[in-house]
Amino acid sequence: MIFPRAVALLAALFALPAQAVELKVFSGNGSRAAVVELTQRFEKETGNKVTVDFAVNPTVQKRVEDGEQFDLAVLNPPTLDTLIKEGKIKGDTRRVIGRIGIGMAIAADKPKPDISTVDAFKKALLDAKAVAFPGDGASGKYFNSLVDRLGMREQLKDKLRPMPGEYNVEVVAKGDIDVVVVVASRIYGVPGAQLVGLIPAELQTWIGFATAVSANARQPEAAAALTRYLTAPGAEPFLRQMGMEPFVE
């Protein structure tokens, strides 16, 4: 869906530079759909080239701490704040993009189970032959703890399938596994997968996404422009389309 007014608002904020530059972005997997959409629009509107490298937050953190070069990062706030304290990222460039809850996905050609209540969600898990979730990252850790909170560890022990952050919704899309529970924004843009819905409010947690410029950015001005672009009011329709909602801490 195109949002002409939103595009105009964003374009007005970022004039085409005299000389295009290349930016390297490190991003967590949870915000993948929104980051891909907005960075592609940023490229068209500014002439800059943006390369995004996605991984789970712990992997991105290690790569940054190991000294890999990048211009800006999109991570959950606790991870980003740790890197700011370590001097790897400029704290004065930190901006919050939005937040998203945990959702369930199934193959696009399968009927959606009811997950509107706690009991319905538990039944959907029990009815599945296998349940995927990220083996690393915030949403995977939360779901793992939720299994214990619901007292379902024994019932689900043979069904749980921890998967790489880069490949968990995809296994459902291909029909290899019945359902996946993951941060809902990760589900958008995966061909063959559909969002069943967010898990019940009583069980929900919100995962935030924030951005900031690397302390050693090769293109600090363009990187700062991209952080502003990702968090500008005109980005809100795109964020909502990708399952995220704007959020101010």
Checking if the pLDDT of 46 tops 60, the result is yes
Report helix, strand or coil for 12: helix
Residues of the chain with CATH 3.40.190.10: 4-99+209-241, 100-203
Average pLDDT over residues 31-51: 93
For the entire predicted model, the pTM comes to 0.79
In terms of C-beta density within 10 A (0-12 exposed, 13-18 middle, 19 or more buried), how is residue 173 classed?
buried
pLDDT tens digits for range 104-149: 999 999 999 999 999 999 999 999 999 999 988 788 899 999 999 9
Average pLDDT over residues 156-178: 89
Report helix, strand or coil for 166: coil
Beta-carbon contacts of residue 236 (< 8 Å; ≥ 6 apart): 6, 246
DSSP of 216-246: T-SSHHHHHHHHHHHHSGGGHHHHHHTT-B-
What is the architecture of the domain spanning 4-99+209-241? Answer: 3-Layer(aba) Sandwich (3.40)
Asked if the 100-203 domain carries CATH number 3.40.1160.10, the reply is: no
Average pLDDT over residues 55-78: 95
Cα–Cα distance between 73 and 193 in angstroms, integer? 27
Cα–Cα distance between 160 and 134 in angstroms, integer? 10
**Residue 113 vs residues 95, 151, 200, 222: alpha-carbon distances, Å:** 37, 21, 13, 45
The partner residues of 197 in beta bridges, in order of sequence, read 104
Residue with more model confidence, 6 or 161: 161
